[in-house]
Amino acid sequence: MAEFFGRIFDHIRIVQITDYIDILIVAFVIYHGIKLIKETRASQLIKGIIALVIFAQISGIMRLKSVNYILENTLQLGFIALLIVFQPELRRTLEKVGSSTFNRLIKISDEQPENNNIEEICTAVRKLAYSKTGALILIERQTKLGDVMSSGTVIDSLVSGGLIENIFVPNTPLHDGALIIGEGRIKAAACVLPLTQNNSFSKELGTRHRAAIGISEEADCIAIVVSEETGKISVALNGDITRDYTYATLKKKINEVLESDKPSDNLKKIKAKNIITKAVKKK
């Protein structure tokens, strides 16, 4: 009898543990799903879908058969529509999950530009802005841009401010298109980028700016744009664009973004903080 009740209690404990794990996983997925939606233009579309669900329920309660039929059939096709509409966001999310997972399981490679390379990039951008020379520079992060590189000319050289300036000199073979920098090297130039389909941005933005936004919707790269009309420096990131950068603010922005790609540093800081807190409490 004792053995029988012991098995029952063991089963209850196992069920409780699995329930906790189940709840934690669901909470984790919901949290990151909300975080993803807040970081993109998908939030407005999600609100629209929620409104359709509410209207469908109200029409069912009020027995509005025709309206309810239309709404229910629309929602049934909603999943396929979501895959089509959110394709750039889904692709970027899966790439982030894959890259971060393998980096943590294997090792976190230091493929980002060193500080001196960032200075070279920012110095070149400042000079290009001063001379109002149009430029588009991409800095690779976790998502590799091999498919984009194939549309341009492979260079594979050390990062040099002078070389970056020369590439964008007007009427030269490589000036038109994007320059790609990754793993501490200039990889390719004159690369063709997809234009954003989002029409909510200002009409003042030209082809370079729309190309920068377009590639930032599909990859996690940093896209730096220099306007040939105004000489203003802009940065496109995660499908959004911010403008009017200076040498100092551009350098700060690049460093902040690249530092956020190093979770191991953050974990070390958290662990060190916890150790100090425990030591203080013991005293």
pLDDT above 80 for 15: no
| pLDDT value at residue 243 | 92
Q: Which residue has the higher pLDDT, 251 or 42?
A: 251
Could you give all domains of the chain from N- to C-terminal order, each with its CATH number? 2-105 (no CATH), 115-263 (3.40.1700.10)
pLDDT band at 280 (very low <50, low <70, confident <90, very high): very low
Model confidence, pTM: 0.60
pLDDT above 80 for 27: yes
pLDDT band at 252 (very low <50, low <70, confident <90, very high): very high
pLDDT above 60 for 278: no
pLDDT band at 6 (very low <50, low <70, confident <90, very high): low
**C-alpha pair distances (Å), 194 with each of 87, 98, 148, 160, 191:** 14, 23, 9, 26, 10
Half-sphere exposure of 100 (CA within 13 A, CB side): 12
| pLDDT value at residue 201 | 82
Q: For residues 205 and 193, is the Cβ–Cβ distance under 8 A?
A: no
pLDDT digits (tens, 9 = 90+) for 171-226: 888 988 999 999 889 999 999 998 988 888 877 788 899 999 999 988 889 999 99
pLDDT above 50 for 244: yes
**pLDDT over 70 for what percent of the chain?**
69
pLDDT above 80 for 37: no
pLDDT digits (tens, 9 = 90+) for 116-159: 789 999 999 999 999 999 999 999 988 888 888 888 999 989 99
Q: What is the 3-state secondary structure (H, E, C) of the chain?
A: CHHHHHHHHHHHHHHHHHHHHHHHHHHHHHHHHHHHHHCCCHHHHHHHHHHHHHHHHHHHHCCCHHHHHHHHHHHHCHHHHHHHHCHHHHHHHHHHHHHHHHHHHCCCCCCCCCHHHHHHHHHHHHHHHHCCCCEEEEECCCCCCHHHHCCCEEEEEECCHHHHHHHCCCCCCCCCCEEEEECCEEEEEEECCCCCCCCCCCCCCCHHHHHHHHHHHHCCCEEEEECCCCCCEEEEECCEEEEEECHHHHHHHHHHHHHCCCHHHHHHHHHHHHHHHHHHHHC
